[in-house]
């Protein structure tokens, strides 16, 4: 009978180890949900397990439908944002996603959106933040652009919507994977030069 007790003990130890691993893997998402609760998104609505998204040890696998190529994203900031809000593919615009939680996040500046996703202020401060305006009638809405990865392959593009009274502002946030980020910037003829950089005194505009 001694072997029976050894099997029970080993099973208990294995379960405890797996529990610790799972807690570490979802730790970031739990922190994000706590931050989201402050802006009205509760834990049951937190997008920690998005339909059609496969989490891997190397990153998250996205796309593969609606004209999107399948790709794996490794950038932690992209993943934090993706797991903190609900996103939907922009059809036939590979690598680009718009936020389903628009009513809740439309009043958040891009910086506040990052903070709501649980990204610490030290990381946010280090990101390069651009504000680009357009002079054409075709494209009126200014945009905020924040590249995430060191090589600039992923990032946030947020459109600024000024309302009739001129003072009220809302934002349309789009999350961009490697297949969509630079491609979109090229499509709207935007080159991220230092002249568009937002400094700390601009307050995120």
Task: List, for residues 77-110, the tens digit of each pLDDT value.
Answer: 999 999 999 999 999 999 999 999 998 999 999 9
Higher pLDDT, 136 or 201: 136
Chain centroid offset of residue 150 CA: 16
Strand (E) or helix (H) holding 136: none
| Structure confidence at residue 197 (pLDDT) | 95
Question: What angle, rounded to 10 degrees, do the helices at 76-84 and 2-37 form?
Answer: 80
- How many Cβ atoms from other residues are within 10 Å of residue 200's Cβ? 8
Nearest to 147 by CA among 191, 188, 106, 83: 191
What average pLDDT is seen over the chain? 77
Residue position matching structure tokens 């615009």: 93
DSSP state of 193: -
**Please, are residues 134 and 153 in contact by the beta-carbon 8 Å criterion?**
no
Alpha helices in the chain (DSSP H): 2-37, 76-84, 102-105, 110-116, 121-126, 181-187
Would strands 87-89 and 130-132 be described as parallel, antiparallel, or unpaired? unpaired
| Residue 181, SS3 per DSSP | helix
Residue 115 confidence (pLDDT): 96
Q: What pLDDT, on the 0 to 100 scale, is given for residue 4?
A: 44
Question: Tens of pLDDT along 41-59?
Answer: 444 344 444 444 455 556 9
Q: What would the pLDDT profile of 119-141 be if each residue is shown by its tens digit? A: 999 999 999 999 999 986 777 78
């Amino acid at each position: 009978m001694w072997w029976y007790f050894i099997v029970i003990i080993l099973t208990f130890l294995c379960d405890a180890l797996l529990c610790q691993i799972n807690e570490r893997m979802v730790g970031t998402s739990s922190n994000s949900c706590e931050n989201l609760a402050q802006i009205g998104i509760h834990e049951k609505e937190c997008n920690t397990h998005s339909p059609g998204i496969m989490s891997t040890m190397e990153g998250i696998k996205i796309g593969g439908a609606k004209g999107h190529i399948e790709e794996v994203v490794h950038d932690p900031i992209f993943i934090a944002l993706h797991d903190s809000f609900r996103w939907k593919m922009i059809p036939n615009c590979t690598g680009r996603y718009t936020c389903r939680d628009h009513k809740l996040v439309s009043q958040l500046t891009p910086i506040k959106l990052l903070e709501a996703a649980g990204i610490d202020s030290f990381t946010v401060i280090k990101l390069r933040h651009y504000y680009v305006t357009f002079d054409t009638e075709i494209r009126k809405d200014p945009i905020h652009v924040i590249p995430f990865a060191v090589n600039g392959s992923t990032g946030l593009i947020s459109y600024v919507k000024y309302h009739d009274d001129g003072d009220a502002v809302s934002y349309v946030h789009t999350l961009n994977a490697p297949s969509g980020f630079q491609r979109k910037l090229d499509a709207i003829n935007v080159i991220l030069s230092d002249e568009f950089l937002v400094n700390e005194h601009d307050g995120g505009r």
